[in-house]
Amino acid sequence: MNVPLITEATELAIAGVQISNLSKRFGDHLVLDDISMNVKPGSVTALIGPSGSGKSTLLRCVNLLETPDGGSITVGSQTIRAGDRVKDRELLTLRRQVGMVFQSFNLFPHFTVLRNVAFPQEKILGRSREEAEARARVLLERVGLADKADQHPGKCSGGQQQRIAIVRALALNPRVMLFDEPTSALDPEVGVEVLTVMRELADAGMTMIVVTHEMQFARDVSDHLVVMADGHIIEEGDPAEIMADPREERTRRFLNAVLER
């Protein structure tokens, strides 16, 4: 596992993300209230905050797993405005630019590890089975999982499954990667394997938005820290500065709570 290998294996074509005046409600509850955020191409943004603050919902709005009720989202050159009817083709175009990694991995249990990584390439990039599988093997090799290729995901540990999920997304050459608490379901020592891969990806220049409780990762790897509470961004800026000296009392309380765990 080293940096140049992942770079050369994932033809990086990065994009930025602009979120403008985004709002989202679930029933009467306003989950996101007028959120604006700018993610520069090639930067890593860490989203932190207490549960229920709306950070996962915000992330899921970027690839329209949640439909925003107001505002707009721009990924690269594609802008989606809330309220506009999104055509299927636009939706797929957006999602094909944006890779996503979930807390619960969500590998396809009926496919082998190799097919998990190869199948989407065949359907989305139109690669032949041989080509897709060859590439899948290269990528699995790079995250140290070549020997798992022919097994089913159920036979892999959580840390392995999450690395496979990352590789599955990377195989499609995304321009932006979203991570929704990628290590929250993992034991700390296993989480490290996943964080290492994410760190390489960040070093390689991928645009990343990461919802996380890993404060060390947020401080060391991210370029920008966004603190959310109750559907608002309460503070954002340089990660080290905010962690050393938060302006907001709520940020301070949250950081203390997380660091004391």
Partner 1 sequence: MGDALLIVLLGLPMTLLVTVLSFTIGVIGGIPLMLGLRSRTRWVRLTCRFAVDLIRGVPPIVWLFLLYFGVSFGAIRLDSLNAAVWGLGIISSAYLAEIYRGAFATLPSGQAEASAALGLGGTVTLTRILAPQALRTALPSIATYLLSLLKDSSIASTIGVADMVFNATMFARQNPATAGIVPFFIAAAVYLVISIPVAVTARRLDTRLRRTA
User: Footprint of partner 1 on this chain (CB under 8 A)?
Assistant: 63, 65, 88, 92, 95-96, 98-100, 102, 104, 106-110, 119-120, 123-124, 152, 154, 165, 168-169, 172
Residue closer to partner 1 (CB basis): 27 or 109? 109
Residue closer to partner 1 (CB basis): 15 or 242? 15
How near is the Cβ of 208 to partner 1 at its closest, in Å?
15
SS3 readout for the chain: CCHHHHHHHCCCCCCCEEEEEEEEEECCEEEEEEEEEEECCCCEEEEECCCCCCHHHHHHHHCCCCCCCEEEEEECCEEEECCCCCCHHHHHHHHHHEEEECCCCCCCCCCCHHHHHHHHHHHHHCCCHHHHHHHHHHHHHHCCCHHHCCCCHHHCCHHHHHHHHHHHHHCCCCCEEEEECCCCCCCHHHHHHHHHHHHHHHHCCCEEEEECCCHHHHHHHCCEEEEEECCEEEEEECHHHHHHCCCCHHHHHHHHHHHCC
Residue closer to partner 1 (CB basis): 33 or 90? 90
How near is the Cβ of 133 to partner 1 at its closest, in Å?
16
How near is the Cβ of 58 to partner 1 at its closest, in Å?
15
Residue closer to partner 1 (CB basis): 135 or 236? 135
Residue closer to partner 1 (CB basis): 6 or 172? 172
How near is the Cβ of 222 to partner 1 at its closest, in Å?
21
How near is the Cβ of 111 to partner 1 at its closest, in Å?
9
How near is the Cβ of 112 to partner 1 at its closest, in Å?
9
The answer to whether 235 and 242 are in contact (CB under 8 A) is yes
Residue closer to partner 1 (CB basis): 180 or 193? 180
